Amino acid sequence: MDAETFKLLAAGLCMGLGAIGPAIGEGYIGGKAMEAMGRNPQMADKIFTNMIVADAIAESTGIYSLVVALIILFVV
Amino acid sequence: MTIPEIHVAPQVFWTIGPFEISPPIITALIVSLILITLAIIVRVKISLIPNRLQLIFEMLISYFLDQLIIATGSRKRALKLLPFVATIFLFLVIANQFTLIPFVSSIVLGEVLLFKVPAAHYSLPIALIIMGLGTAHILAFLFHPIRYIGNYIKIAGLFKARSFKDFFMAGIDFFLGLMDIVGELAKFISVSTRLFGNLFAGEIVVGIISGLLFITQFVVPIPFIVLGILSGLVQAFVFTTLTMIFMSSTLNSVRRAEEY
């Protein structure tokens, strides 16, 4: 295999493995938020905005791996 | 298969002095113009009985004011940060959805699209976050220089230590303070990269899906475009919220507890 092949393989692996963590985290946050909304529907709006922010923070490692994949593909 | 070429760096049309005029800059300028006209319209038509436009803006402003009061701890300081934070939010909301206006995304200058989502290029997010957090750091430094530096270089504990155990704990504190410097720098990168990554990925996904086959140009990209709209709105909100929280935590870090 030459360097170009390794680059594509590395970018794919980086994105795929990097997506596992955020997926678990966001699923957990979403599940807990649903639970809380079901228990206390009056608070649903507040919980929803907080859930979105928490989701975005849980997502950051996924975004990092996306950036690394982009660097591997286009810059290196 | 005609997958469009993907450019991380924007293509430059022409250069004026040291400034390179590229699609994101043109779009950002036009979005600023839209914001200014909106502001003038709302300001001229302001009345005690609000119309719909005024209601929307009042709702947004009171929401961010409430959030800022929670984050900074006082109404006075919240009112100082409000114009900056609310402007970032309005700018990002309009800028992220700008290419959805019909025909805007098919205007071509030379071979290059004239309008592109400005936040899908890394320059805009990093500029916004440097403006926000940089201002907060400079203000905190000017407000109380010694306490600001003391937050990161915790050398005072080393002199106050009376026993070996105290000295050990102070040493750990000192190194944790040095780690905080890295943490502060990481905030700049993580907040801006989040905005950039989401919008850039949205653009690429739509591009790849529509370039995949001849048939997939027509109906198939629609769900991905809808997802892009959603993530544009959410990321504008998240970027604003995080900037707000980090700015107020930096500013609050130089205040003593009794000043609240």
Predicted confidence (pLDDT) at residue B258 exceeds the cutoff of 70? no
Range of the domain at A55: 3-75
- The average pLDDT across B97-119 equals 80
Dump pLDDT digits (tens) for B20-63. Answer: 888 888 888 999 999 999 999 988 888 888 888 889 989 989 98
Q: For residue B198, what pLDDT is reported?
A: 85
Cβ–Cβ of A67/B242 closer than 8 Å?
Answer: no
B3: left (phi over 0), alpha (psi -120 to 50) or beta: beta
The pLDDT assigned to B260 comes to 47
Q: Compute the C-alpha angle A40/B240/B80, nearest 5°.
A: 105
Q: Determine contact: A8 vs chain B, CB below 8 A.
A: no
Test A52 with B6 for CB contact under 8 angstroms: no
Q: How many structural domains is chain A composed of?
A: 1
Q: Where residue A12 sits, what CATH number does that domain have?
A: 1.20.20.10
Tens-digit pLDDT profile for residues B56-83? 989 989 989 988 888 888 888 888 889 9
DSSP B120: G
By percentage, how much of chain A surpasses pLDDT 90? 41
Of B194, B201, B241, the CB nearest to A60: B194
Burial of B160 (0-12, 13-18, 19+ CB in 10 A): exposed
Averaged pLDDT of chain A: 87
Q: Which residue of B has its CA nearest to A48?
A: B234
pLDDT at B3 over 60: no
Residues 23-62 (A) with a CB less than 8 A from some CB of B: 49, 52-53, 56-57, 59-60
- For chains A and B, CB pairs below 8 A equal 34
How far off is chain A from B80, nearest CA to CA, in Å?
23
Euclidean distance between CA atoms A17 and A20, whole angstroms: 6
- Predicted TM-score (pTM) of the model is 0.83
For B141-176, write each residue's pLDDT tens digit. Answer: 888 888 888 888 887 777 777 888 888 888 888 888
Q: What is the ipTM of this complex?
A: 0.71
Decide if A63 and B237 are in contact by the 8 Å CB cutoff: no
Nearest-angstrom CA–CA distance, B55 and B42: 10
pLDDT score, position B1: 46
**Beta-bridge mates of residue B14:** B21
Mean pLDDT score across all residues of chain B:
84
Q: Flag whether pLDDT at B119 surpasses 60.
A: yes
- Those residues whose C-beta lies under 8 Å from the C-beta of residue B236, and which sit 6 or more positions away, are B89, B92, B93, B96
Strand ranges in chain B using DSSP code E only, listed in sequence order:
14-16, 19-21, 108-109, 112-113
